[in-house]
C-alpha cells in the first residue's frame, strides 16, 4: 500500500515539478532611440525607461511599491549601486541611469546618505566624472581602492597564484607614481614589475597570493547591492557584462583570472557564488544605451553602437547570455573574432545556479518605450 501511495504522490506532483523546471527567467528590455543623441544621454527619458522596466519586472504600479514590497528595501538599508567606471566619460555607467535608480530609491524611503555609488578604483571614478562629487548629488561615491578597502576576514581562494601589486590588500609597498604606470596595452607582468620596482620584499607571500579579498563595501557597509554594468567587451575577460563586472570589481588580486587561457573561468562564477553575495545582490540593470563591441572597455566610436536600451533582471546570467550574441554579430560584421570562446564563465555561472544561460528558459519582455 505504501508503494501505491508513493506512486500516486509522484504522479500528482509531477506537473508541479515540470512547471518549476520550465520556469522562465524574465529579462525586461526597454528601448528608446531618442534616449541617446550624439553620445549624449537624455536624462528624463532614461529615468522614465528605468521606472518602466522596474515596474514591468516587479508587476507593481509604482517604483516605491517595487522597491519596498518586491525587493523588501527599507529606510534602514544601505544600498550599494555598483557601477562600471573603467570606460571613461562615454563608456562608463551613465550618470542619468544611476540618478534614476537613486531617485527611485529615495522615493521608496531610502535616505540619500544610505545610497553609495561605487567601483573599485578611485582614479576610474574621477575619469568617469563621478568624482569630485557634485554639490547637488543625491548619493555618496566611494571607491574600494584606496578608500573603503578590503575585508581581511572574507576571501576567495583559487589555486592560481597572483602577483600582488598596489591596491591588493596583501601588497607591501607604495603607490607608483604616474610616470611609472604604463598604458593598458602593456602586459600585466610589466605593470606588476613597475609596481614592485624599488619596493623591498621580504618574503614570497608578500609578492604572490592565492587569495582574493572581498571589498568591505560588500561584506560590511552595504546591506543590498544593485549592479549596473555597461554593455561592452574587454580584452581581459571577453564580455564585461553583469557577471564579470561585478565579480572582478568586488575582490582584489584579479589579474590572475584574466587573459588568455583563463578568461575568468571558473573564478567569476565562484566569486559570485558566495552566500553573502547571493543574499545582498538584488538586481542587475545593464546600461546598453551605448554598446562597445571591440577595444573595450574604453570608448572607441568605430566599434560602438548606439542602442538606447536598458536590460533589467534579477538574473545576471540571462542578461549576459542575451547580449553576447549581439556583440558577436557586430564583431563578425567588422571581421573581428567572436567573444564567445572567451566567455565560457557564463555557462559556468549557470552550472553554479547563478541564473540561466539557456535561451529557451529566458522570457524576454521587450517594449519600445514612449513617454
Question: 137-166: per-residue pLDDT in tens?
Answer: 989 999 999 999 999 999 999 989 898 888
In this predicted model, which residue has the larger pLDDT, 264 or 15? 264
Query: Is the per-residue pLDDT at 1 higher than 60?
Result: no
Lowest mean pLDDT among 6-20, 143-157, 337-351: 6-20
How much is the average pLDDT of 210-234? 97
**Per-residue pLDDT, 370:** 66
**How many other CB atoms are found less than 10 A from the CB of residue 285?**
26
82-94: average pLDDT: 97
Please tell me the predicted confidence (pLDDT) of residue 369: 60
Place of cell 508503494: 3
Q: What are the strands, taking DSSP E only, across 170-244? A: 208-215, 224-228, 230-234, 238-239
Q: Contact 357/318 with Cβ under 8 angstroms?
A: yes
User: Once rounded to an integer, what is the mean pLDDT over residues 52-76?
Assistant: 97
Q: What does the pLDDT average to over 6-18?
A: 38
With beta carbons less than 8 A apart as the criterion, state whether 111 and 180 touch: no
pLDDT at 161: 86
State the average pLDDT over residues 88-113: 97
| Span 100-122, average pLDDT | 98
Average pLDDT over residues 265-282: 97
Is residue 41 predicted with pLDDT exceeding 80? yes
- What pLDDT shows up at residue 31? 96
In this predicted structure, the answer to whether residue 79 has a pLDDT above a threshold of 90 is yes
As a whole number of angstroms, the distance between CA 346 and CA 358 comes to 11
> How far, in Å, CA of 104 to CA of 4, rounded?
55
Q: What is the mean pLDDT of residues 351-369?
A: 92
Q: Per-residue confidence at 183, pLDDT binned at 50, 70, 90?
A: very low
Alpha carbon distance 225, 114 (integer Å): 12
Cβ–Cβ under 8 Å, residues 117 and 129: no
Closest CA to 267 of 158, 173, 154, 340: 158
Given a cut of 80, whether residue 345 has pLDDT beyond it is yes
Alpha helices for the chain (secondary structure H): 2-21, 43-58, 63-65, 88-91, 95-107, 122-127, 188-196, 216, 242-250, 267-272, 275-280, 316-333, 345-351
Which triple of cell numbers denotes residue 86? 573603467
Amino acid at each position: 500500500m505504501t508503494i501505491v501511495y508513493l506512486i500516486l504522490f509522484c504522479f500528482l506532483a509531477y506537473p508541479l515539478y515540470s512547471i518549476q523546471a520550465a520556469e522562465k527567467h524574465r529579462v525586461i528590455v526597454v528601448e528608446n532611440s531618442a534616449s541617446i543623441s550624439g553620445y549624449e544621454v537624455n536624462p528624463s527619458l532614461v529615468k522614465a525607461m528605468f521606472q518602466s522596466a522596474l515596474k514591468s519586472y516587479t508587476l507593481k504600479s509604482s517604483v516605491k511599491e517595487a522597491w519596498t514590497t518586491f525587493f523588501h528595501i527599507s529606510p534602514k538599508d544601505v544600498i550599494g549601486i555598483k557601477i562600471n567606471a573603467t570606460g571613461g566619460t562615454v563608456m562608463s555607467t551613465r550618470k542619468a541611469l544611476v540618478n534614476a535608480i537613486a531617485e527611485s530609491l529615495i522615493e521608496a524611503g531610502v535616505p540619500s546618505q544610505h545610497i553609495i555609488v561605487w567601483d573599485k578604483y578611485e582614479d576610474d571614478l574621477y575619469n568617469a566624472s563621478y568624482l569630485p562629487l557634485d554639490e547637488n548629488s543625491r548619493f555618496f561615491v566611494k571607491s574600494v581602492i584606496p578608500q573603503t578597502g578590503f575585508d581581511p576576514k572574507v576571501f576567495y581562494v583559487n589555486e592560481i597564484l597572483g602577483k600582488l601589486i598596489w591596491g591588493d590588500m596583501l601588497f607591501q609597498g607604495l603607490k607608483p607614481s604616474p610616470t611609472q604606470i604604463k598604458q593598458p596595452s602593456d602586459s600585466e607582468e610589466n605593470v606588476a614589475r613597475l609596481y614592485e620596482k624599488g619596493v623591498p620584499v621580504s618574503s614570497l607571500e608578500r609578492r604572490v597570493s592565492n587569495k582574493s579579498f572581498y571589498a568591505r563595501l560588500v561584506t560590511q557597509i552595504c546591506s543590498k547591492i544593485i549592479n549596473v554594468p555597461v554593455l561592452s567587451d574587454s580584452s581581459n575577460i571577453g564580455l564585461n557584462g553583469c557577471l564579470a563586472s561585478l565579480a572582478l570589481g568586488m575582490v582584489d588580486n584579479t589579474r590572475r583570472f584574466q587573459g588568455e587561457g583563463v578568461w575568468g573561468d571558473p573564478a567569476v562564477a565562484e566569486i559570485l557564488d558566495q552566500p553573502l553575495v547571493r543574499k545582498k545582490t538584488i538586481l542587475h540593470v545593464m546600461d546598453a544605451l551605448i554598446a562597445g563591441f571591440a577595444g573595450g572597455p574604453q570608448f572607441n566610436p568605430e566599434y560602438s553602437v548606439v542602442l538606447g536600451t536598458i536590460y533589467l533582471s534579477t538574473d545576471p546570467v540571462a542578461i549576459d547570455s542575451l547580449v553576447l550574441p549581439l556583440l558577436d554579430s557586430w564583431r563578425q560584421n567588422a571581421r573581428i573574432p567572436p567573444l564567445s570562446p572567451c566567455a565560457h564563465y557564463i555557462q559556468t555561472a549557470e552550472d553554479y545556479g547563478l541564473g540561466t544561460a539557456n535561451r529557451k528558459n529566458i522570457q524576454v519582455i521587450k517594449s519600445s518605450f514612449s513617454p
